Amino acid sequence: MPRVSIILNGKRIETDAERTILEVAQQNGVDIPTLCHDPRLKPTAACRLCLVEVKGARGPMPACVTQVADNMVVTTNSEGLTKSRRMALELLLSDHYGDCIAPCQIACPAGIDIQGYIALIASGEYLEALKLIKEKNPLPLVVGRVCPRFCEKKCRRNVLDEPVAINCLKRFAADTNLNDGEIYTAEPKPSTGRRVAVVGGGPAGLAAAYYLALEGHEITILESSPKLGGMLRYGIPEYRLPKAILDKEIAAITRLCQEIRLGVSLGRDSTIESLKKEGFEAVFLALGAQASQKLGVEGENLPGVLSGIGFLRDVALGKALDIGQRVAVIGGGNTAMDAARTALRLKATEVTIVYRRSREEMPASDEEIEQAEEEGVRFQFLAAPVKANAADGRVNSLECIRMALGPPDSSGRRRPEPIAGSEFTMNVDTVIAAIGQTLDSSGLAQDNTFKLDRRGYIGVKETTMETTLDGVFAGGDCTSGPATVIEAIAAGRRAAISINQFINGEKVAPSQKPYVCTKGELAEIDPKDYEFKPRIPRGKVVPLHPEIRKTRFDEIEPGFTEEMARAETERCLACGCLDVFECQLRDYATEYSVNDKKYAGRRRHLPVKENEHPYIVNDPNKCILCGRCVRICNEVEGIGALGFSNRGFRTRVEPALGMPLGETACTSCSQCISTCPTGALTPRVHLPKPGPWQPETVPTVCPYCGIGCNLELNLVGDKIVCVTSPMDSPVNEGNLCKKGAFYPASLHNLKRLSTPLIKRENSLVEASWEEALALAGNGLRQIADRAGGDRLAVLASAMLTNEEHYLLQKLARAALGTNNLGCLAMPNVASLLSALGKNASTCSFDDIPASDLIMVYGCDLEEDYPIISLKVRKAVNRGSKLITLSPRQTGIDSLAKVSLKVNRRTGVNLLESMLSYIITYDLADRNFVDTRTANFSDFAEEMEKQSVAELASVPWAKPAKIVEAIHLLVRARRPVLIIDAAAITPAELDLLSNLMLATGNVGRESAGLILLRTPGNAQGLIDMGVTPDYLPGQVPISNRASRRRLSVAWSGTIPAEPGRDTVGIIQGIESGEIQGILVAGSDAAGELGNSIFEVPIFSVLIDTVAPKDPPYPDVVLPGATFAESQGTYTNCERRIQRLQAALTPPAGKENWQILAALAHYLGYPMSYPTVASIDDEIARLIPLYQGIRECNVGRAAQWLFSHNGQFDLKDGLARFRSFEAQQLSL
C-alpha cells in the first residue's frame, strides 16, 4: 500500500494511504470523538462529532470518511471544533429523553447506586448489593435505620402509588450481611505508611477513616467521648439504633484503622499543630455540632432545664436522670421527638412537645411524629416558651405564649408571631430544649490560625472539603451545621478522596461530575408512562405496639424479611439507563461539559418498546439517529430489520411500517445492541431487575458451535448478565449471533445438579463424592477386570475441553483398556484423514473475506453458522463470487452468482460430473496434481468412465449453470470451499476433497476447504483422539510407534485394535456386548437422550443436570458447563483458544477434576494439580498441540495443516479418494 505523510496536530506522521483521518488518528493515540462510527461499518458522517480542520479545505471535514492525502495538515482539537462538537452534543441531548441515573440516586447525598443494589437484591445477590452500597456508604446498618430518605421523596413510583421502601432494602442488605457473620469491608490497598488523623468519631469521621484506610493509609481516630459514634451513639436513642448494631458496624471500620484514641479532646490534649508534628500528614476535622442552642428565655439555666442533645447523651451514657412526671420538650425537629420519646421511656407520664409553628412546618420526619403521637406524646403547636419558673430551686412551670403564622420568611416557612396577651402556663418537672445545635469551637481556639465562617462553622470548599489550612480538611455537621447522617457520610467520603489526593501529591480537585440526563422532576413526569405498570403495595414492617415500646428501649422496627425484600424490589421501576456505564453519548457529554438545557425545545416522548422482542428492549427516546443499528443490520447482517422512518426532526429508527421488531426478519444476533452508542437498544435481561450492572468481564470461547467466537461473559456476582465480544477478536471481530449473545445468560435457568446421585431402586438419591466416585470407579473396573476392556465404552460430549477429552480417552485407553470411544453429537464422522492426512479445515476463516470465490456446500450458513455467513457477505461485497449448493433455499443464495439445489443423492451425482468435466476437458491443475498428489492418473482414468452427459441428468439444475460453476472454480485463484461436517456424507466429502485437489486448491495459502462442525469443541475431540481408531494428534491407532510411545508415557497398555464408534457402541449396548459405559458431557443426556440407559448395564454419567425421568444411570456425577471450565477449545480453523472459568461449578468440581478423581477409583491414579499440568502433557505428547501452552487469554495458536507443501501422509502427497471405494454408501 502506498505511504503518505501527514501533519496531525502539528506532528508529522507516516501512514498508509487509503486510510481515513479517524483511523490514522486512532492508531496514533489521538482521540477524535464520534458517535456514528463503528469499525465494522462503512463510515457515514452523520453525527458530525468527528469534524476536523484540514488545511485548505472549504470547511471542517468529517474524519471518519475523509481519507488522508500526502502532506495533509489536520487539526483535531481547535477551539472552534470543541465548540462545534459541544453544540452537536447539546443538540443531540436536547432531544434525548431519559434518565442516565435514577432520580433516587441523584437525590441521595452520598450518591449511592440505589437502582443497582435493588437489582442485585432482586437477583439474590445480597453481598454484591452490600458491596455496592459500601462503595459510597460504610455505615449501612446505621443509615438503614435512621436515614431521612431523600431518595424516596424523588422515587418515580410516587407518580404511581407509593415510593419504593429503599432504605428498608438497604437495611436488609446490611442486616443479611451482619447475620451471615463478619461484616464485609472492601479489601484495603497495600499500606502506604502515610498517617492521617481523623478528629471526631461520628459518621463523617468514620466514613473518612474507612475510605482512607482502603487507600492503604494509616488512620488514627481521635474522639473526645468514651466511645466512637458521635451523634449516632449519643444523639440517636437506642430504640431507633441499637448500640450493639452500631458497635459492630464501627468495629468493622476500626479494624482497618491503626489507632483509636478515646477521651481525647482537640484543644485540650492536642492541637492541629501538634498532630502535624506527630507525623500526621493530613488532619480531618469531623467535630460535629454538639453545642446546644440556647432558648434565650428567662430561667433557662434553672436546674431541670436540659438541652435535648445533652439529655440524650446522658441517657446514652447510662447516667441516672430524674426527670419527674411532666416533661415539656421545646422544638419540632427529630431531636425533640427523640427527647420526648426517650422521656416517655424514662417513665415520664406527661410529655408535651411545644412547637412555635404548626404541624405542617415541623422539620421532624412524619414517621417520627406519628410514632411519638402513637406513644402518647402530646403536642402544643403554635406556642413558644417565654419564661421558666422555679420552685425549690428547680423548674416547676413554663410560661408560654400562643403564636400565629405570618408571611413566609427566608426559609420559605411562615414566620410565627406571638399573639399579644395569649400567655399561658404549663406545670412541668423538666424542660428539654431541643431547638438546635451548633459547633462547639472551643477546641479550635488553640490553633490561632484557624478561622470560622460567618455562621460559626468551619469554612470549607464544598467540593473538596479543604479548609484554609494546608493539609487540614473538615466535614460533617462542623462545617454544614446540624444535618443528616448520610450527608455527614458523603462529606467524609469526599474529604477522604481529597486527602488521598493531597497525600499523593496530586492536585486536590473534585472528580469530574459525569453528565446526567434527566427526565425532570416528579411533576414533569407523565403518569401515562407508568399506566401499565402493576400497582404493588409498599412493603411495610410492623413496629412494636406503642403500648409495649413506650416502656422500653428495644428497637421498635424490625427489618424486612427476605421475602418482603424480594417483593419490594419488584416495585422498583428501574428508571436509570441500563447503558449508563457504557454510554458514549454520556462520556462525550461529560468530556465536553455540555449544557443540555441550552437548546431545550421540542423533545420526543415515545413509548418504550419493552415487549416487542424476546431479547431486545428499544427505548426510542434515547436514540440519537446515528444509524449504526440500521447499518449493522443491513451491511453486516444483510437483514435490514431496522430502517429510518419519517423526515426532519421526526426521523425515527424503526422496522418498516412500525412493525414490532420481534415480528421482522430479525435473527436476534444482538449486533444492534452491541453497536448502539446509547441506551436506545439494550438486551432484555432475563433477571428480576435489569440492572444497570458494572460487570466484571471474563473472556472465554463460545461453545455453541465450532466457529469458536470470542466472548466476554459479563458477570455480576455469580450471574452472567450479558455477553459481549471484543472488537479485536481474530475469529469474530466483535460480531455475535443469537447463540453466543444470549444463550450463556440462560445457563442460569438450568436446574443444575449440585451433588452426586446414585441409583437406588429405580430412583436417584443424593450421595457424597467419595461414595459416588467409588461406586462408579469400582463398577467400571470390575467389568474391565472380569470381562475385558472391550466390554466397556466411553461416550463424550463435544462440548468438553481439549484437556477433558484428552483425559477421557487416556482414561478409556490406559485405565479401562478400551478403544470404544464415541461422541454424543457426532455419531457419523466424515473424515479427510486418508485423503489429506488430517481431518480438519485446510485454511482459515480469514481466507474467506480475502477469497475470490466461495463455494458453500450443503449448509445454511445464515441459519447454522451466522458468523461465517457475515464473512461470506463481506467477501461478496468486496467482489468475491459465491456458489451455493444446498438442498433448500438459504439466506445467502441471493448473493450467489450460481445457486444450485442439490440433495444428498443429486449432490454426489453433481460432484462426480463436475470432476468428470474437469478431467474430460483437461481443466485440472496439472502442476499441482503432479507434484502434490499421489494418484491422479488412476483417479482420472476412473473418472473418465463417467460420462459428462450425466451432467444433464442431475435433476433441477441447468447444465449451463453447472458448467458456469465449474468454470468459476477453475478460474478462481483463492477459492474457499465451506462445508458443514454435520450435514455431509463421507461420499460427498471425498468428492469435494477430490474436486479441490484436482483444481489445486488444498494445502496452499489463501485457498482451501473449511469444514464447519456444530459442537463447540468437535475439532478438539477429533484432535485429542476421542475416536475408536485414532490416537491423540490424529495418529492412526495402527501406528505402533506412537502407540508404544503413549503406552510408556501413560504407564498403561493401549489396545491395538480400533474400537467401536458411536453407532457400534450403541449396537453393542443393545446386543449386550457392552457391559459398562461412561458418558461425559455437558447436558449429555439432553444431546443423546437417556434411552442409552434403557438396557440395564452399568452406567456412569457426568452431566450438568440430573436426568429427569428413568431409566437412570447407576451413578450421576455433577459436571460443569463451559462457563465453569478452564482449558482450551479448538475451533474449526484449528485455532486453540483458552476458556476461562467465570463461575464455580455448583458441585465444586470441574469435569477434568472429576475425571482425575474417577481415575483414582479405577486404580489408575492421575496427578494433575492444574489444567496447565494437563496442557504440559499434551504439548509434550502431541506435536500438533505444542502451541497449547502459549494459548493464554486473548492469544490463540493455530496448528498447521500442512508443512512446507507436505501433507501429513507418508510420502507427503495427498490422495484422490477412489470413487469406487466409496460408491454410493446411501
Partner 1 sequence: MSETYGKDKKWLVRVGVASCGLAAGGRHVYEAFAARLSDSRLNAVLKPTGCMGMCYNEVLVEVVSPGGEHVFYKRVTPDYVPAIIEQHLIDGQPVAKWMIPQNEIDSFMAKQKRIVLQNCGVIDPESIDDYLESGGYQALEKVLRGIPPLEVIDQVTRSGLRGRGGAGFSTGTKWSLARKSAGFQKFVICNADEGDPGAFMDRSVLESDPHSVLEGMVIAGYAIGATEGFIYCRAEYPLAIKHLEIALAQARERGFLGENILGCGFDFDISIRQGAGAFVCGEETALMMSIEGRRGMPRVRPPFPAQSGLWGQPTNINNVETFANVPWIILHGAEAYSACGTEKSKGTKVFALAGKIARSGLAEVPMGITIKEIVFDVGGGTSTGLPFKAVQIGGPSGGVIPASLGDTPIDYDSVTRTGAIMGSGGLIVMDESTCMVDVAKFFLNFTQDESCGKCTFCRIGTMRMMEILERIANGEGREGDIEALEELASNVKQASLCGLGQTAPNPVLTTLKYYRSEYEAHIYEKKCPAKKCRALISYEIIPEKCPGCGLCAKNCPVGAASGEKKRPYTIDQEKCIRCGLCMSVCRLKAIAVR
Nearer to partner 1, 63 or 330 (CB): 63
* Angle, CA of 260, 262 and 266, to the nearest 5°: 100
| Interface pick for partner 1 out of 37, 40, 48, 171 (rule CB under 8 A) | 48
3-state secondary structure of 922: coil
| Interface pick for partner 1 out of 60, 163, 1003, 1016 (rule CB under 8 A) | 60
What angle, 0 to 180 degrees and rounded to 10, lies between the N-to-C axes of helices 584-591 and 79-94? 130
| Interface pick for partner 1 out of 124, 308, 492, 627 (rule CB under 8 A) | 627
Q: Is 62 in the site for partner 1 (CB under 8 A)?
A: yes
CB of 673 to partner 1, least distance (A): 22
The residues with which 328 forms a beta bridge, in sequence order, are 352, 431
Nearer to partner 1, 2 or 648 (CB): 648
CB of 646 to partner 1, least distance (A): 7
Nearer to partner 1, 282 or 681 (CB): 681
The residues with which 417 forms a beta bridge, in sequence order, are 404
Q: Is 217 in the site for partner 1 (CB under 8 A)?
A: no
Nearer to partner 1, 650 or 945 (CB): 650
Whether 690 contacts 574, CB under 8 Å: yes
Q: Is 45 in the site for partner 1 (CB under 8 A)?
A: yes
Phi-psi region of 1033 (alpha: psi -120 to 50; beta: other; left: phi over 0): left
Whether 994 contacts 1216, CB under 8 Å: yes
β-pairing verdict for 305-307 and 1035-1036: unpaired
Task: Give the CA count within 13 Å in the CB-facing half-sphere of 248.
Answer: 16
| Interface pick for partner 1 out of 82, 84, 293, 1198 (rule CB under 8 A) | 84
Nearer to partner 1, 59 or 658 (CB): 59
| Interface pick for partner 1 out of 319, 647, 945, 1210 (rule CB under 8 A) | 647
By CB under 8 A, the residues from 505 to 544 that bind partner 1 are none
CB of 668 to partner 1, least distance (A): 24
Site track 1133-1162 with partner 1 (rule: CB under 8 A), x = hit? ------------------------------
Phi-psi region of 84 (alpha: psi -120 to 50; beta: other; left: phi over 0): alpha
| Interface pick for partner 1 out of 520, 644, 828, 973 (rule CB under 8 A) | 644
C-alpha cell at 617: 428492549
| Interface pick for partner 1 out of 8, 25, 30, 46 (rule CB under 8 A) | 46
Peptide bond into 1111 cis (omega under 30): yes
Phi-psi region of 375 (alpha: psi -120 to 50; beta: other; left: phi over 0): alpha
Nearer to partner 1, 375 or 852 (CB): 852
CB of 612 to partner 1, least distance (A): 22
Q: Is 65 in the site for partner 1 (CB under 8 A)?
A: yes
Site stretch for partner 1 (CB under 8 A), options 61-69, 695-703, 764-772, 1019-1027: 61-69
Rounded CA gap, 943 and 915, in Å?
A: 7
| Interface pick for partner 1 out of 21, 24, 25, 47 (rule CB under 8 A) | 47
Rounded CA gap, 968 and 383, in Å?
A: 101
Rounded CA gap, 96 and 617, in Å?
A: 17
| Interface pick for partner 1 out of 526, 535, 552, 599 (rule CB under 8 A) | 599
| Interface pick for partner 1 out of 22, 25, 63, 92 (rule CB under 8 A) | 92
Residue 372: how many other CB atoms lie within 10 Å: 24
CB of 638 to partner 1, least distance (A): 14
| Interface pick for partner 1 out of 7, 87, 159, 483 (rule CB under 8 A) | 87
Nearer to partner 1, 624 or 1171 (CB): 624
Site stretch for partner 1 (CB under 8 A), options 84-92, 187-195, 905-913, 920-928: 84-92
CB of 66 to partner 1, least distance (A): 8
H/E stretch holding 529 reads: none
Nearer to partner 1, 80 or 614 (CB): 80
Rounded CA gap, 325 and 349, in Å?
A: 5
Name which of 939, 907, 828 is nearest 1213 in CA terms: 939
Site stretch for partner 1 (CB under 8 A), options 120-128, 183-191, 622-630, 1218-1226: 622-630
Rounded CA gap, 118 and 565, in Å?
A: 9
Q: Is 620 in the site for partner 1 (CB under 8 A)?
A: no
The residues with which 91 forms a beta bridge, in sequence order, are none
Task: Give the CA count within 13 Å in the CB-facing half-sphere of 474.
Answer: 26
By CB under 8 A, the residues from 99 to 118 that bind partner 1 are none
Q: Is 88 in the site for partner 1 (CB under 8 A)?
A: yes
| Interface pick for partner 1 out of 7, 73, 91, 608 (rule CB under 8 A) | 91
| Interface pick for partner 1 out of 15, 34, 76, 94 (rule CB under 8 A) | 94
Task: Give the CA count within 13 Å in the CB-facing half-sphere of 602.
Answer: 4
Site stretch for partner 1 (CB under 8 A), options 43-51, 350-358, 818-826, 964-972: 43-51
Name which of 609, 844, 752 is nearest 1104 in CA terms: 752
**Beta carbons within 8 Å of 123's beta carbon, 6+ residues apart:** 687, 688, 689, 716, 717, 719
| Interface pick for partner 1 out of 190, 193, 601, 879 (rule CB under 8 A) | 601
DSSP state for residue 843 in the 8-state scheme: S
Site stretch for partner 1 (CB under 8 A), options 82-90, 576-584, 676-684, 774-782: 82-90
Cross-sheet strand order for the sheet of 1008-1012: 898-901, 881-886, 853-857, 975-980, 1008-1012
Q: Is 44 in the site for partner 1 (CB under 8 A)?
A: yes
CB of 60 to partner 1, least distance (A): 6
With contacts defined by CB under 8 A, how many residues of the chain interact with partner 1? 34
Q: Is 655 in the site for partner 1 (CB under 8 A)?
A: no
Q: How many Å is the Cα radius of gyration of the chain?
A: 38
Per-residue HEC secondary structure of 344-394 comes to HHCCCCEEEEECCCCHHHCCCCHHHHHHHHHHCCEEECCEEEEEEEEECCE
CB of 44 to partner 1, least distance (A): 7
Q: Is 59 in the site for partner 1 (CB under 8 A)?
A: yes
By CB under 8 A, the residues from 793 to 852 that bind partner 1 are none
Q: Is 98 in the site for partner 1 (CB under 8 A)?
A: no
Nearer to partner 1, 50 or 830 (CB): 50
CB of 513 to partner 1, least distance (A): 24
| Interface pick for partner 1 out of 643, 986, 1052, 1187 (rule CB under 8 A) | 643
Residue 441: how many other CB atoms lie within 10 Å: 17
Nearer to partner 1, 66 or 714 (CB): 66
Whether 161 contacts 233, CB under 8 Å: no
The dihedral through the CA atoms of 801, 804, 808, 809 has a sign that is positive
Residue 899: how many other CB atoms lie within 10 Å: 20
CB of 37 to partner 1, least distance (A): 12
CB of 610 to partner 1, least distance (A): 25
DSSP 1064-1118: HHHHHHHHT---EEEEE-SSHHHHH-GGGGSS--EEEEEESB--SSSSPPSEEEE
Nearer to partner 1, 78 or 768 (CB): 78
| Interface pick for partner 1 out of 449, 463, 651, 768 (rule CB under 8 A) | 651
Rounded CA gap, 742 and 747, in Å?
A: 10
Nearer to partner 1, 44 or 1006 (CB): 44
The residues that touch partner 1, with contacts defined as CB under 8 A, are 44-49, 51, 59-60, 62, 65-66, 83-84, 87-88, 91-92, 94-95, 599, 601-602, 624-625, 627, 643-644, 646-651
